[in-house]
Amino acid sequence: RQAQADGADALLLVTPYYNKTSQAGLVAHYTAIANAVDLPCILYNVPSRTGCNLTPASLAELAKLPNINAVKEASGNISQVAEIAAACGDELNIYSGNDDQIVPLLALGGKGVISVLSNVAPQYTHDICAKWFAGETQESLQMQLKALPLCKALFADVNPIPVKWAMNCLGWQAGACRLPLVEPSAAVQAQLETAMRDFGLL
């Protein structure tokens, strides 16, 4: 409610962490949020960070709510994405939460990506999706493959440590990470610099 009062256009709602609830608990949690606001809600499934996976069956139930209209899927499990698409159809928009899986998710009916890569290569990330939707699927695929080393480097340490370093390196003055996040190691910095140079950013 506070976010809505402060002018938010939509909500990105990560699954609860530490209190790793049941699927029934997740449905109740998200239903309570959706009923409390008038904003579009994007559910964020990233079990590698929260220890809690939002299943296709739960998403199908939540997709019945009018303002739950998307999921940022970052489980990394392409089979699960396919099951979500099959279970939810047009009732739920699917966005990739993993930059190395943009094209696979688009191939399963995804609508785009909520991206880390876009912080350092926004036009490029946009064009991966735009080319796919324009029917230029081979070009989209080749762009996805070209970006893989940079995507890997951007996750060589805990996000957002590498991307903030990369943005600072490009002059965007993203600032330092707050504790408990610290600067990337010299090895990660070297990997990032190499990947950025090979990609043409430096």
Domain holding 52, by residue range, is 1-114
Q: Is the pLDDT of residue 162 over 90?
A: yes
In this structure, are residues 52 and 80 in contact, taking their beta carbons and an 8 Å threshold? no
Which residue among 72, 95, 131, 164 is the active-site one?
72
Residue type at position 199: F
Residue 28: which CATH number? 3.20.20.70
Count up the domains in the chain and report the number: 1
Separation between Cα atoms, residue 152 and residue 140, nearest integer Å: 18
Query: What are the distances in angstroms from CA 94 to CA 10, 38, 178, 191?
Result: 15, 20, 31, 31
User: What residues contact 143, with CB distance under 8 A and at least 6 apart?
Assistant: 124, 127, 128, 131
In this structure, are residues 33 and 2 in contact, taking their beta carbons and an 8 Å threshold? no
- pLDDT at 79 (0 to 100): 97
Residue type at position 165: W
Establish whether 131 is a catalytic residue. Answer: no
Q: Is the pLDDT of residue 19 over 90?
A: no
CA nearest neighbour of 27 among 48, 9, 52: 52
Q: Please report where in the chains the tokens 């009732």 appear, as a residue.
A: 91
Helices 161-169/186-199 angle, 10° precision: 60
Residue 134 within a domain: no
- pLDDT at 87 (0 to 100): 97
Residue 86 within a domain: yes
Residue 52 within a domain: yes
pTM of the model: 0.93
pLDDT band at residue 24, thresholds of 50, 70 and 90?
very high
Residue 145 within a domain: no
For range 60-80, the mean pLDDT: 97
Residue 6 within a domain: yes
Q: What are the start-end ranges of the E strands in the chain?
A: 11-14, 41-45, 68-73, 93-96, 112-113
In the chain, % of residues over pLDDT 70? 100
For range 21-40, the mean pLDDT: 95
For range 32-48, the mean pLDDT: 95
For range 112-116, the mean pLDDT: 97
Residue 193 within a domain: no
Q: Is the pLDDT of residue 4 over 90?
A: no
In this structure, are residues 98 and 74 in contact, taking their beta carbons and an 8 Å threshold? yes
- pLDDT at 17 (0 to 100): 86
Residue 102 within a domain: yes
In this structure, are residues 104 and 130 in contact, taking their beta carbons and an 8 Å threshold? no
Q: Tokens at residue 156, please?
A: 């060589």
- pLDDT at 20 (0 to 100): 85
pLDDT band at residue 142, thresholds of 50, 70 and 90?
very high
Residue 162 within a domain: no
Establish whether 95 is a catalytic residue. Answer: no
Q: What is the pLDDT of residues 76-97, one digit of tens each?
A: 999 999 999 999 999 999 999 9
Q: Tokens at residue 29, please?
A: 């949690």
Q: Is the pLDDT of residue 196 over 90?
A: yes
Q: Tokens at residue 116, please?
A: 């880390």
Q: What are the start-end ranges of the E strands in 104-155?
A: 112-113
